[in-house]
Structure 1
Amino acid sequence: MGNKLSGKDLIKLGFPKNNSINIALGQINRYRKREKKESILTEAKEVLLHPEKFEGHGTWGKVAEGLVNPVQVRMHQLKTTRAPFTIFGENEIDQQAKFQLYDSLKLPISVAGALMPDAHSGYGLPIGGVLATDNAVIPYGVGVDIGCRMSLSIFDLPASHFKGKEHQLQAILKDNTKFGMNETHATKADHEVFYKSEFQDIPLLKNLLPKAYKQLGSSGGGNHFVEFGIAKIDNPENEWKLGVGEYFAVLSHSGSRGLGANIAKHYTYLATKQCPLPKNVQHLAWLDLNTHDGQEYWLAMNLAGEYAKACHDDIHRRIAKAIGKRVVVTIENHHNFAWKEMVNGQECIVHRKGATPAAEGQLGIIPGSMTAPGYIVKGKGNAESLNSASHGAGRLFSRAKCKATFTQSEIKKVLKANDVTLIGGNIDEAPMAYKDITKVMGNQTDLVEVLGTFTPKIVRMDR
């Protein structure tokens, strides 16, 4: 008996000569190739005899599904009509972003859609795109940085806390934040998220656990940041019992790091194999939630969301400890995620790719740019936006266009004019790269109520 397991070995066991053999070989090669052939064949025999016992199993669940109820792979055609949709701030949105939404609305699984006023084109769904689907999840409708989110901590400190402490606060940011591919904290923190069963039950996640542990409390590159600023509370009727006034605060923006990126890559690949689509919409391939892979992605996506929150919690914990003061209010929300929500009386999967949940009474923070204020908001629960709002100002210039248009000296002038200190940062994240946040907010008065603002003062980004 050779060491490498083959399709012939599975046929000898009694596997039917169909796609279940390819699925089994794929799963074994991906997750079990270092194990002895004899022990794998023993398990495979058990799966063949009792597939129902292996439903949801990390390695064998997909094989069992292939034996009992094989996934039908067929080319899906787009519908000729679009699902209902609403665009907010249409005049400020590029045509490509609109066309991407229109294409997504023709998917046979689409129920409804919306485009937020900060929208611009992306991969799959546009950034700022919201799409409700019937029992199916689109990995690229969620995005690569699963669970990317905002987190604002307001301290029981006046805004005047900045005076005379600029160098000390810069040092706190440098010492307590890590960015990009390689920076991690020397002293690692533990977190309850690492003990979730998904990290043991799903082989892909088990392999990613060491990376996730290492990267906890760090932020990605690009537009991710941690910044000190001034939170201004305008509404005396706020739920935090904070008086109207200005407070010292910290705002962070980042997601699920390498964990989320690897989950997105893996399940996007599976979706494109199981759900062939016309070339112009192949990024919108979906996973049926009644399938093994669909259920597994859903679990993995939710875990990545919890991990993203854990990263923010760790960042804010480290900073609060360094400042030596108590956080009195935390406002946070995901914007690259999918939720099970009711849409027109039907339970749907609502994808928000760069869009903030804004159900009635739901709190959120919508940032501007490093020189423009962000807004503390409360959702109005607008059904036409699928209970959503923008996740920021949105890009006016692509990264490539920024590099061709702006210079470091121009950026320094804008930062100085706005009394903002920047640590790190690249030309592609120039403040001028973003839309006017006041216009964006003006285009979503039906979606959110403004409770206050956050103005950045010291910004830390990747170099």
Structure 2
Amino acid sequence: MIDGFKLISWGFPTGKWFGSALEEAQNMERLGASEQEIFDALKDHVPVEIGMRTNSIPYSVFLEPENDEERANLASVNAHMDALLRVPTIVSGAIMPDACPAGSQLGTIPVGGVVATKDAIHPGFHSADICCSMFMTVFNRQDDLKRILDIAMKVTHFGPGGREDFNMSPALHAQFDQNHFLKGLNNIGDYAMGTQGDGNHFLYVGTLESTGQPAIVTHHGSRNVGAQLYKRGMAAAKRHTSIVAPRIPSHNAWIDANSADGESYWEALQIVREWTKANHAIIHDTIARILGNKVVGQMWNEHNFVFRRTDGLFYHGKGATPSFKGFAADETGRTLIPLNMSEPILIAEPTDKKEALGFAPHGAGRNTGRKNYLRGLAAKFGDPEGLSPIMEKAIFEDQTEGLDIRSYSGTPDLSELPGAYKNAAAVTQQIHKFGLANLVDSVIPYGSIMAGEQKWDRGRK
């Protein structure tokens, strides 16, 4: 028979809600429900401010599902977090309103997941797209937004390959040479400078809601520089964890932060952060120079990184925006939260909500993967074998009506359309409801550039 001790052993916290939860569990048991069905039902009723506790680790959920698809997504996210929070370095965790699974291996940190660790840096928790981030430039006077987007299309670079016209600064070259995790990556750092990648990365043009001034916003990470650092970091983490905790899955491996490797890897993360900021800035500054409109403000923030707070813990945000003061020496007191290409980009101030570990969502997130979304589109429009070019064009035009959306490759990637993402209004409402950030302004969309479908995508889909 299910009793209070059973619920506590499952990780449910005690409190005012506990009596009604126990009554519901016992009623479900009398009606023949399995323990798993009872556990899943009770998870939906845990007060979000309390959160679940997994392996005696505090865990807060800031995601309210609205339909069956979102409930399935949350169940998958919770399953991953339940396994993840059994890693011995982790002291607390939380998920944001945009949370969704980031891999099939159980215990993979979800997008929109945050964990705090003691004396440990986990490369798998920031993944290969280290320092995926947002950068905004605001111009002084009103301008032709189409002209800004035209200039941006000529300046930026999406998709595979690199470029020869931009290079790292001499200072960055020297820092690469002096760090053993980055040594030998100088050529990659030069080649990748001025590139934005693919997937959900973008260059967005719009106007500030508060002033009407034009603004450009870019979204991308550290490109192949970060990917190579991640590869080297994972190798070091696996070596360490295979000795101290050989039963830990390799994707949850860590580097001892107090070791020589840990100190060097932490330094490498800061250098890659600097590289990523420079990569954003070189695109923005080149556009500004050609445009001839005075820059009156710039800001940026990462949302896929590791932060060390004054408590000495390492906060790993996997696609989560810091919402606490002092997350970086160059932070401006505001951060950027994009939603989708048809929605405003939110400008936020921090609230440092304790239960959220001081984080907010980094976007709208997905309820299903790219492949599943495209399969769903094909089924919806009566062609389970795939969409015809005519139908693809109609879907694209319908979801981007009134916007100037461009694909660098020349072919739109339908898996990046607004319909592929969660309800932006619901995510925004949850930011308000849970006090994850104070939303103080926004950038109203005119249009964007995205990588578009790449030549390998057809087979992958």
TM-score interval w.r.t. the shorter chain? Answer: 0.7 to 0.9
**What TM-score comes out, normalization by structure 1 length?**
0.74
Q: 1:98 aligns with which of 55, 78, 82?
A: 78
Give the Cα separation in 1 of the matches to 2:248 and 2:160. Answer: 31
In structure 2, the residue matched to 1:432 is 419
Letter in 1 for 2:116: A
Residue 137 to residue 416, structure 1, CA distance change in 2 (3 Å): closer
In structure 1, the residue matched to 2:329 is none
Q: Secondary structure at the match of 2:185?
A: helix
Asked if residue 257 in structure 1 is aligned to residue 235 in structure 2, the reply is: no
Q: 1:403 aligns with which of 350, 355, 374?
A: 374
Contact 2:120–2:257 (Cα < 8 Å) also in 1: yes
Instruction: Report 1:74-85 matches (<5 A).
Output: 81-85=55-59
Shift of 1:451: 1.0
Aligned-pair identity (%): 29
Q: CA RMSD in A?
A: 2.2
Q: 2:207 aligns with which of 230, 235, 257?
A: 230
**What TM-score comes out, normalization by structure 2 length?**
0.74
Instruction: Report 1:305-454 matches (<5 A).
Output: 305-342=273-310, 346-360=311-325, 362-406=333-377, 408-424=392-408, 425-445=412-432, 446-454=435-443
Instruction: Report 1:28-177 matches (<5 A).
Output: 81-91=55-65, 92=70, 93-123=73-103, 124-158=108-142, 161-162=143-144, 166=146, 168-177=147-156
1:215-238 Cα offsets, whole Å, 9 max, x none, are 1121111111112112212xxxxx
Letter in 2 for 1:176: V
Give the Cα separation in 1 of the matches to 2:152 and 2:297. Answer: 20
Letter in 2 for 1:247: Q
> Which runs of no fewer than 5 residues in structure 2 stay unpaired?
1-52, 326-331, 378-386, 453-461
Instruction: Report 1:146-225 matches (<5 A).
Output: 146-158=130-142, 161-162=143-144, 166=146, 168-184=147-163, 186-191=164-169, 193-197=171-175, 199-225=176-202
Residue 280 to residue 433, structure 1, CA distance change in 2 (3 Å): farther
Give the Cα separation in 1 of the matches to 2:400 and 2:262. Answer: 49
Letter in 1 for 2:319: G
The count of aligned residue pairs is: 364
Which range moved further: 299-308 or 400-409? 400-409
Q: Secondary structure at the match of 2:366?
A: coil
Contact 1:146–1:261 (Cα < 8 Å) also in 2: yes
Letter in 2 for 1:426: D
Q: Secondary structure at the match of 1:207?
A: coil
Asked if residue 298 in structure 1 is aligned to residue 266 in structure 2, the reply is: yes
Give the Cα separation in 1 of the matches to 2:346 and 2:437. Answer: 10
Give the Cα separation in 1 of the matches to 2:247 and 2:419. Answer: 34
1:81-138 Cα offsets, whole Å, 9 max, x none, are 1411211124255222222222222211111111110010114311111110001010
Shift of 1:442: 1.0
Contact 1:335–1:355 (Cα < 8 Å) also in 2: yes
